[in-house]
């Protein structure tokens, strides 16, 4: 018997849809009944995580905790967050429920270890970087994490908000590709798409090194966990 997955989503909505679509694709199924039961709370009104971590806005912690409690009451056996930066508030979520929270950060960092990589480039939002989420995860695994310089990081954040607004056209794809290539040029052996909007436009086929999508990494962990029964 598989577990019921509770998804804390809406940050942003397109990234949540992408996670769900990839979850369906990754689940071995020959009929409807073979798929996982998934409960999704897609709430785009959760306060901006980047602003909160920078001290410029309210904490999303209470709303994220409320979503976790609601999903638990609805029957979720395990929780996931379809947003990297929101993991800065994982303690608020876990304290609100009695069911486990699978970490996108841990799943992604583990996925990066394949191939004995010692240096990876990380495309992460400001809040994720300020919170040190991937810095800690990779330091624990003895992997060097390279981040964009200040000017490129500003470009990345502007691009992320454009993607959130629906701009996933060629210009956005080329802009994300340039940012990823800049990390390759500094010696990154793989590029981590550590913001769930990044995989919406980043084509791994255009890079000289692998792209590790945080969305894909979480999907793989969820399928393995849920199907373990």
The tokens for 223 are 């399928």
Closest CA to 147 of 167, 128, 171: 128
Asked if 130 and 89 count as a contact pair (C-beta separation under 8 A), the reply is no
Of 40, 76, 83, 109, which one is the catalytic site residue? 83
Q: Dihedral angle at the C-alpha atoms of 138, 142, 148, 150, nearest 10 degrees?
A: 90
The tokens for 94 are 């876990």
Closest CA to 4 of 39, 33, 46: 39
For residue 199, give the DSSP letter: G
- CA distance linking residue 128 with residue 31, whole number of Å: 38
- CA distance linking residue 168 with residue 159, whole number of Å: 10
Told to judge if 42 belongs to the known catalytic residues of this protein, a careful annotator would answer: no
Closest CA to 194 of 46, 15, 4: 15
Told to judge if 83 belongs to the known catalytic residues of this protein, a careful annotator would answer: yes
Of 15, 195, 202, 218, which one is the catalytic site residue? 195
Q: Is 188 exposed, middle or buried (0-12, 13-18, 19+ CB in 10 A)?
A: buried
The tokens for 133 are 């989420």
The residues assigned a catalytic role are 83, 195
């Amino acid at each position: 018997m598989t577990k019921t997955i509770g998804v804390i989503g809406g940050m942003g909505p397109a990234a949540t849809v992408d996670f769900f679509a990839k979850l369906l694709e990754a689940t071995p199924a020959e009929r409807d009944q073979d798929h996982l039961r998934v409960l999704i709370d897609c709430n785009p009104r959760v306060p901006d995580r980047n602003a909160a971590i920078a001290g410029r806005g309210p904490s999303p912690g209470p709303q994220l905790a409320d979503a976790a409690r609601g999903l638990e009451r609805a029957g979720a056996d395990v929780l996931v967050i379809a947003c990297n930066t929101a993991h800065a508030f994982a303690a608020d979520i876990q304290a609100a429920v009695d069911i486990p929270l699978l970490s996108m950060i841990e799943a992604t960092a583990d996925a990066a270890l394949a191939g004995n990589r010692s240096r990876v480039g990380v495309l992460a939002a400001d809040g994720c970087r300020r919170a040190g989420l991937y810095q800690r995860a990779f330091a624990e695994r003895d992997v060097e994490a390279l981040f964009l310089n200040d000017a490129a990081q500003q470009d990345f954040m502007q691009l992320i908000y454009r993607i959130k607004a629906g701009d996933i056209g060629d210009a956005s794809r080329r802009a994300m590709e340039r940012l990823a290539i800049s990390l390759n040029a500094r010696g990154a052996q793989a590029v981590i798409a550590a913001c769930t909007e990044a995989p919406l436009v980043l084509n791994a086929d255009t890079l000289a090194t692998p792209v590790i999508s945080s969305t894909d990494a979480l999907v793989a962990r969820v399928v393995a966990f849920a199907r373990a029964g």
